[in-house]
A and B are shown apart, each in its own frame.
Chain A
Amino acid sequence: MSYLQGSMSTLKMSSYVATCINNQSISTAAYQNVGLDGAMDTNVNTFGTTPTASTSTDRILLPAGKYFIQARLAIYRSSSSTWGGQWYIFKRSGASNVQVGYEGRRYGIVYIGDPQKTSSARAYVESDGTTEIGVEAQAINATITLNSTATYGAQYSGKSRILIWRVL
């Protein structure tokens, strides 16, 4: 299965990866902002624009355009009990965070029940140049750690990332 582009020379696309802080504790109480470390890795940038990650607001400002966003979180808990985490991408609206797209969910050693969800949150966002997005996460049953640097943490699973594709 493939999609055939008319001419490779007309294609424009940009791709960036934002990353998150280490060892952030996420509780079961409520969804909370996933902390950003401010980095924005650019893989390809034919549009010539770059989103900006703020470590003070934990939000990403998107230049005007249309984007696919995919957020996967590396979650950790040193426990054989029942635990997990779920998260979604939000779009800032006034003073509120509004969920967009579909939620991601992972669980630990014990199956946490339905519904099963994909390992990444996904969303499509159109920006007018002032649009900000971010990720909110909540633990299930027990506190979890994002981007753990503990033994058997990120080195064995990879780190959290927010993949941003600008497609138009």
Chain B
Amino acid sequence: MSYTPPPNYPLLGFVQATAINGAVQDLVFDVPNDMETTEAAGRTECRVNSLVIIRPSRSNDDPGQPASSYWPTTDTTVDQAYQGKVSNETTWFNHSSPEAMTYSDHIDVTGGPSLGSGSIHFTNYSHAQIWRTG
């Protein structure tokens, strides 16, 4: 007879993305800090269902000045209420917030409609907030 205690992962914290020069769906949250997340093939496992809010950070655009929208996973791509947007440096006619959210056990950023062309320079300030709910 044995007793297995419940998992004792950190409840609330932040994981970071490695800086890239590319498209928003290329962002990978592979710096777990002490959140005990794991990453493989661009997908970050949160271990349990969590409220996930991602906040990309942009340092510069290519001359095409792209702006992109996105979702944290493929599961929420039909719901614009959960969508986030990273504006370009000259901006466009629509604005919301960079925060895209979902309730999921993983992060796998999916790109939505975008404007302009070229790459976005994402910094390693890009991060995801994970609030585990078990």
Question: Contact: B133 with A108, CB < 8 Å?
Answer: no
**Distance between Cα atoms of A66 and B79 in the complex (Å):** 27
Judged by a CB distance under 8 angstroms, whether A77 is at the interface is: yes
Question: Contact: B93 with A1, CB < 8 Å?
Answer: no
Question: Contact: A156 with B69, CB < 8 Å?
Answer: yes
Question: Contact: A163 with B85, CB < 8 Å?
Answer: no
Number of residues of chain B lying within 8 A (CB) of chain A: 47
Number of residues of chain A lying within 8 A (CB) of chain B: 45
Question: Contact: B93 with A8, CB < 8 Å?
Answer: no
**Distance between Cα atoms of A1 and B69 in the complex (Å):** 27
Chain A residues closer than 8 Å to B100, beta-carbon distance: 158
Question: Contact: B132 with A8, CB < 8 Å?
Answer: yes
Looking at the complex, which one of B91, B113, B115, B131 makes contact with A108 (CB distance below 8 Å)? B91
User: C-beta contact mask, B22-61 vs A, less than 8 Å → 1, else 0?
Assistant: 0000000000011100000000000011010000000000
Looking at the complex, which one of B92, B96, B133 makes contact with A160 (CB distance below 8 Å)? B96
Residues of B bordering A, CB below 8 Å: 5-14, 33-35, 48-49, 51, 67, 69, 79-85, 90-103, 112-115, 131-134
9 contacts between A and B (CB under 8 A): A1-B14, A8-B11, A15-B51, A78-B93, A109-B91, A119-B97, A158-B69, A159-B96, A160-B96
